Amino acid sequence: MNKRNVLQAIRASGQVFKAEIARSTGLSIPTVMKITDELIARGLVKETGKGESSGGKPPQLLEFVQDRHYVVGVDIGTTNILCILMDMSANIVYKHSVPTMVDDSPDVIIDRIAASIDTVIAQSEVEQECLLGIGLGMPGLLDKETGTVLFSPDFHWERIELLSALKARYAMPMVVHNVTHSMAMAQKWFGYGRDDVNSFICVNLGHGIGSALFLDGELFSGGSGSAGELGHMTMEKDGPICVCGNPGCLEALASGDAIARRARAEISVLEDAIIRKKADEGRLEAKDVFEAAGRQNDAAQRIIGDAAEYIGLALAKVINLLDPEMIVLEGGLSRAGSSFITAIHDNAQRYQMKYAGRNTRIVVSELAEQSAAIGSATFLIKRLFDVGGDQTLL
Amino acid sequence: MNKRNVLQAIRASGQVFKAEIARSTGLSIPTVMKITDELIARGLVKETGKGESSGGKPPQLLEFVQDRHYVVGVDIGTTNILCILMDMSANIVYKHSVPTMVDDSPDVIIDRIAASIDTVIAQSEVEQECLLGIGLGMPGLLDKETGTVLFSPDFHWERIELLSALKARYAMPMVVHNVTHSMAMAQKWFGYGRDDVNSFICVNLGHGIGSALFLDGELFSGGSGSAGELGHMTMEKDGPICVCGNPGCLEALASGDAIARRARAEISVLEDAIIRKKADEGRLEAKDVFEAAGRQNDAAQRIIGDAAEYIGLALAKVINLLDPEMIVLEGGLSRAGSSFITAIHDNAQRYQMKYAGRNTRIVVSELAEQSAAIGSATFLIKRLFDVGGDQTLL
């Protein structure tokens, strides 16, 4: 407990003297010295220069070691499996991406994830004892205790033992979290959440739509761990059937997949040669529709505009209900251009209640494609600082 | 701080020995004795019988005093102002209700509130020094610091200095909270929240619709204090215009006022003599529509059924987003009969995502009409136990 507090004090300060640590933690100087010696021996903290002497020996500055320990993060996306190895400051040392091929069986996909992890560990040439562990990010509802994927509509998985299947292969700690929870954790440690933003929502606008709630300084999972299923809010009771089985979910109306699906359905209205060619080849995606909209295609602009309206409307619901300090947009659609983001903003404002969410800022994540992989890895760094967390290193 | 911990330990235990308090708080026995003597002198704690002697003097049992201090709670509703005076266990000593007459000017209504408080204090014959203070519950968005009503669509109030207007008249602490926050506080202290339910939503189904979020053990107010505006979630983009100015809010589709409004609009379809008479007299209310539905009036049943569907759909959105342990229904519509509640249940289940909110229970408040008044008063009891709270008594 004291060790974690000291480590946190050092990490939070950048560079700090032992006397300051004693002051901020309330521990005695001898206790702080004993702990910092141990942290130095374990390679978590280093001495990094001296301060001004006030007569005697000049005091030693301490710093959290960024590049002695590493973590693996895996973003199990519907298109690609992105696997990274990063240091304690989220600097990415090695990165590997492989198509997920989501229609393959769970066993095959799990083998693919393992192969990706193996590649990254081998290629990065980081020593085994410097690896803190592997963090996975997976879309859908998970049982956090067992690491079972209870229901992932995007993968068509139900009750798949993801974590236990992989744990057997690696002699290091391994955790799995919902991919949007990973994104929120990345924001809290390395993104917008750093700056004293204590209540924010991460909204992942990708092939599907998900969200994670970070409320009063903690990830909020709810009573059964399913909080954040923004994508499956019913927006139109008589709308198109969603992959989850319900009608008119936000995901069925405004996700990347929904945009591509609607463009395919309206192919004759779109009258766009490129769109038609991609559709014929079976590889029409949301980004093609955004490109057509950029070419001033009216029908494409309407499809994009409707998606922005539904997303804005859903954000207005979130703002009315939760009044977050910030909404961080993540995922492919969040990078589809500023006019789309502006349209989302405008619609959120239009549908939110007067005076509600007066301080809510809607922003686009700066962690881009790496957000989920960084966040999945961050859970293992966080364990170092949690009471009852990592027992091997501390 | 120690005083508050000791008081909390005594209140939580019912009856307790000083030695047990020392054990549970980590304080020394002399410190506990000094504090309990002071709490006894202030009438917050009393000695209440003796335990078994283990040789020497038999130990003294201590108990939190329920009936020495009292609090005033005011539920400023759109129909009635309900003012209560209750003891520390929410036993109501005196109760007074007066029509709000919401179309009067804010000044007149504030005078009416004060007259109601005066009546309750005078009639209850509780000594001034035994009154902890006055808690107000008001619908709408409030500035908690100043006690200003920023926006209350039900009252058509904007920027009304409610608290400062009343504070001048009473020489005791006075607080104002959103009425649904009051309901949630009542649930936490004296209702369903007592039993270790740490994340729940109170939904007030009355003339309007509001909600309060109690998340991870704390009332959640959001970044600008506006969290919980469930009633102003847009359910139908092209729906009827709500009092808040936006189209198709839940409140505009399924509140008590919305049910009455729709019945008035469909008066010829309803073909019900009682409904028509009430409408002609300008006093048709939601409860008349429920009664007509009870008489097997098809149109009335459809109106009620549609309201239950919208409420269930909104609860499904809340469940998908927040996965609360419990949703507590409050307000007049929550007491409109079991078939209405069953219909809300069924619709929530129908629209919520598969596997989401697996542990969410939907229940009807047992505090009935008194919920908001009790909760408003409870904020003053809570101050006794809060760090930096009541300074006069502790």
Determine the 3-state secondary structure of B202 from DSSP: strand
Angle at A141 between CA A135 and CA A142, to 5 degrees: 45
CA distance linking residue B39 with residue A204, whole number of Å: 53
Instruction: Please state, in angstroms and as integers, the Cα–Cα distance from residue A353 to each residue in A36, A233, A321, B152, following that order.
Output: 51, 18, 10, 11
Cβ–Cβ below 8 Å for A322 and B213:
yes
Strands (E) in B36-106, as ranges, are 45-50, 60-64, 70-76, 80-87, 92-99
What confidence score (pLDDT) does residue B394 get?
61
The token duo for B175 is 């607080």
Of the candidates A325, A336, A331, A390, the one whose C-alpha atom is nearest the C-alpha of residue A361 is: A325
What confidence score (pLDDT) does residue A387 get?
67
Q: Is the pLDDT of residue B392 over 90?
A: no
What confidence score (pLDDT) does residue B48 get?
86
* Chain B positions in Cβ-Cβ contact with residue A238 (cut-off 8 Å): none
Looking at per-residue pLDDT, the higher value among B216 and A341 belongs to: A341
Query: What residues contact A31, with CB distance under 8 A and at least 6 apart?
Result: A2, A22
Check if the beta carbon of residue B73 is closer than 8 Å to that of residue B96: no
Of the candidates B379, B193, B318, B246, the one whose C-alpha atom is nearest the C-alpha of residue A322 is: B318
What confidence score (pLDDT) does residue A140 get?
86
* DSSP code at position B139: S
The token duo for A310 is 């539904």
Q: Is the pLDDT of residue A251 over 90?
A: yes
pLDDT by residue (tens digit) across A352-361?
A: 998 888 899 9
Count CB atoms within 10 A of the CB of residue A164. Answer: 11
Once rounded to an integer, what is the mean pLDDT over residues B345-349? 97
| Chain B interface test: which of A141, A253, A317, A360 (most B C-beta within 10 Å) | A317
Residue B111 exposed, middle or buried by CB count within 10 Å (0-12, 13-18, 19+): middle
Sheet of A200-205, strands arranged across: A218-220, A209-215, A200-205, A326-330, A361-364
Once rounded to an integer, what is the mean pLDDT over residues A112-118? 97
Once rounded to an integer, what is the mean pLDDT over residues A332-346? 96
* Chain B positions in Cβ-Cβ contact with residue A323 (cut-off 8 Å): 221-229
Q: Is the pLDDT of residue B308 over 60?
A: yes
Question: Which residue in A232, A356, A358 is closest to B320 by CB distance?
Answer: A232
Q: Is the pLDDT of residue A391 over 60?
A: no
Question: Which residue in B215, B223, B245 is closest to A220 by CB distance?
Answer: B215
Q: Is the pLDDT of residue B304 over 60?
A: yes
Of the candidates B74, B66, B62, the one whose C-alpha atom is nearest the C-alpha of residue B32 is: B62
pLDDT by residue (tens digit) across B7-57?
A: 888 888 888 998 889 888 888 888 999 999 999 988 889 998 787 777 777
What confidence score (pLDDT) does residue B391 get?
57
Beta bridge mates, B62: B16, B47
Q: How confident is the model at residue B351 (pLDDT cuts 50, 70, 90)?
A: very high
Count CB atoms within 10 A of the CB of residue A30. Answer: 10
Question: Which residue in B223, B232, B233 is closest to A359 by CB distance?
Answer: B223
Q: Is the pLDDT of residue B174 over 70?
A: yes
Query: What residues contact B294, with CB distance under 8 A and at least 6 apart?
Result: B337
Determine the 3-state secondary structure of B262 from DSSP: helix
Q: How confident is the model at residue B388 (pLDDT cuts 50, 70, 90)?
A: low
pLDDT by residue (tens digit) across A149-183?
A: 998 888 999 999 999 999 999 999 999 999 999 99
Query: What residues contact B377, with CB distance under 8 A and at least 6 apart?
Result: B71, B72, B73, B84, B86, B90, B135
CA distance linking residue A66 with residue A189, whole number of Å: 14
Once rounded to an integer, what is the mean pLDDT over residues B267-284? 95
Check if the beta carbon of residue A105 is closer than 8 Å to that of residue A49: no
What confidence score (pLDDT) does residue A394 get?
61
Once rounded to an integer, what is the mean pLDDT over residues A219-248? 92
Check if the beta carbon of residue B357 is closer than 8 Å to that of residue A222: yes
What confidence score (pLDDT) does residue B389 get?
61
How far does the CA of residue A319 sit from the closest CA of chain B (Å)? Answer: 7
The token duo for B119 is 């009546």
* Chain A positions in Cβ-Cβ contact with residue B321 (cut-off 8 Å): 211, 213, 227-230, 233, 318, 321-322
Instruction: Kindly state the percentage of chain B with pLDDT values over 70.
Output: 98
- The pairing of beta strand A157-160 with beta strand A174-178: unpaired
What confidence score (pLDDT) does residue B276 get?
96
Count CB atoms within 10 A of the CB of residue B384. Answer: 20
Q: How confident is the model at residue A244 (pLDDT cuts 50, 70, 90)?
A: confident
Sheet of A15-17, strands arranged across: A15-17, A60-64, A45-50
Count CB atoms within 10 A of the CB of residue B37. Answer: 11
* Chain A positions in Cβ-Cβ contact with residue B208 (cut-off 8 Å): none
* Chain B positions in Cβ-Cβ contact with residue A317 (cut-off 8 Å): 233-234, 317
Q: How confident is the model at residue A94 (pLDDT cuts 50, 70, 90)?
A: very high
- Indicate if the alpha-carbon torsion angle B180, B138, B122, B133 is positive or negative: positive
How far does the CA of residue A365 sit from the closest CA of chain B (Å)? Answer: 19
* Chain B positions in Cβ-Cβ contact with residue A313 (cut-off 8 Å): 234, 237
Chain A to chain B Cβ contacts (< 8 Å): 158
- Max CA distance (Å), chain B: 84
* DSSP code at position A247: B
* Phi, psi (rounded to 5 degrees) for A170: -125, 130
Question: Which ipTM was obtained for this model?
Answer: 0.86
The token duo for A116 is 């990706």
Residue A268 exposed, middle or buried by CB count within 10 Å (0-12, 13-18, 19+): exposed
Given its phi and psi angles, is residue B101 left (phi above 0), alpha (psi -120 to 50 degrees) or beta? Answer: left
pLDDT by residue (tens digit) across A30-61?
A: 899 999 999 998 888 999 877 777 777 778 89
How far does the CA of residue A211 sit from the closest CA of chain B (Å)? Answer: 8
Instruction: Kindly state the percentage of chain A with pLDDT values over 90.
Output: 71
pLDDT by residue (tens digit) across B62-120?
A: 999 988 999 999 999 989 999 999 999 999 999 999 999 999 999 999 999 999 999 99
Of the candidates A367, A384, A321, the one whose C-alpha atom is nearest the C-alpha of residue A133 is: A384
Given its phi and psi angles, is residue B205 left (phi above 0), alpha (psi -120 to 50 degrees) or beta? Answer: beta
CA distance linking residue A364 with residue A335, whole number of Å: 8
- The pairing of beta strand B131-138 with beta strand B70-76: parallel
Beta bridge mates, A6: none
Query: What's the pTM?
Result: 0.88
CA distance linking residue A304 with residue A262, whole number of Å: 10
